[in-house]
Amino acid sequence: MILSKKGKGTVRGIGIAVQGPLDVNRGISFSIPQIRDWHNIRLAELFEKRYGIKTFLLHDPDCLLMAEKASRDRRSDLIEKNVALVRLDQGVGLSMMVNGHISTIGYSSEFGHTCVNPEGTECVCGNRGCLEVYASENGIVNRFRQESNGKYPDNPGIDGITALAGAGDPLCSRLMKEMYSYFGLSLSILANMFPIDTIILYGGFAETVRKYKGELEAVFSSHIFLHRSIPIRFSELDTNAPAVGASLWATKNILRSLSFAETEE
């Protein structure tokens, strides 16, 4: 559809924002936990054969951080040199910018699969107690269904669970408390390991987390070494942000290849 609307221009590259572990250099998507039988897919090669256009993959959160940085540049806002961006949707993803450079490019940082509860619920990855089990939309909805034992006839989604928590429902209140407790602790570990200036949250589930911003910040700040002040912000970017970042990544690679070709001449 996009190629049909390109007009008289020439499409030089395709950028794809990919979830899950991947090899950026070889264009391989190793797995996407939510997609059955998705293993070692040579995604870039498939697109190049189909469209005849050079294709570049990048981890979805890295695309978001590229879009965030470009957007903030455009608004002439202050760009923090050290930023952690966490995507919160069906899963949990992380990208980091250190000294103005996105440092997670080249490997997939699976922040959502760090263990926060060794004896916890089994995750789709096969391990137990991953952050994603407690601080993602899918994780919370799945745990609700496992623990509710059919007591809730409407089988609510994340919005319904959040509403029930607000009304004082014991199970839903506990799920939300575990969400901001484990997530706040995980963010503090990240901030204690790296010189982070700002944390940015993006995604559909981030809007649910926003309702517990005060509780999240309280847990987060209580575990920060020397009690450094690190703001937690919510991204203003829309749902097109991953595609924007992927296109920026493709553009960067195309320009680099053109520059390299010129130096060889």
pLDDT tens, position by position, 57-116:
999 999 999 999 888 665 545 455 789 999 999 999 999 988 888 876 655 678 999 999
| pLDDT at residue 150 in the model | 80
| pLDDT at residue 159 in the model | 94
| pLDDT at residue 260 in the model | 55
| pLDDT at residue 157 in the model | 92
Q: How far apart are CA 185 and CA 54, in angstroms?
A: 41
C-alpha 117, offset from chain centre: 21
Asked if the domains at 3-61+240-264 and 79-234 fall in one CATH topology, the answer is yes
Per-residue pLDDT of the chain (265 residues; tens, 9 = 90+): 555 555 566 788 999 999 888 999 999 999 887 788 999 999 999 999 999 999 999 999 999 999 998 886 655 454 557 899 999 999 999 999 888 888 766 556 789 999 999 999 999 888 999 999 999 999 999 999 999 988 887 778 999 999 999 999 999 999 999 999 999 999 999 999 998 999 999 999 999 999 999 999 999 999 998 878 999 999 999 999 999 999 999 999 999 887 655 555 5
Q: What is Dmax (Cα atoms) for the chain?
A: 71
| pLDDT at residue 154 in the model | 79
The owner of tokens 């926003």 is 210
The conformation of residue 91, written as its DSSP 8-state character, comes to S
Q: What is the CATH number of domain 79-234?
A: 3.30.420.40
The structural domains of the chain, with segments of one domain joined by +, span: 3-61+240-264, 79-234
The owner of tokens 């995507």 is 87
Q: Which fold has domain 3-61+240-264?
A: Nucleotidyltransferase; domain 5 (3.30.420)
| pLDDT at residue 35 in the model | 85
The residue ranges of DSSP E strands in 187-264, in sequence order, are 198-202, 232-234
| pLDDT at residue 251 in the model | 94
Q: How far apart are CA 140 and CA 92, in angstroms?
A: 12
In this prediction the pTM is: 0.87
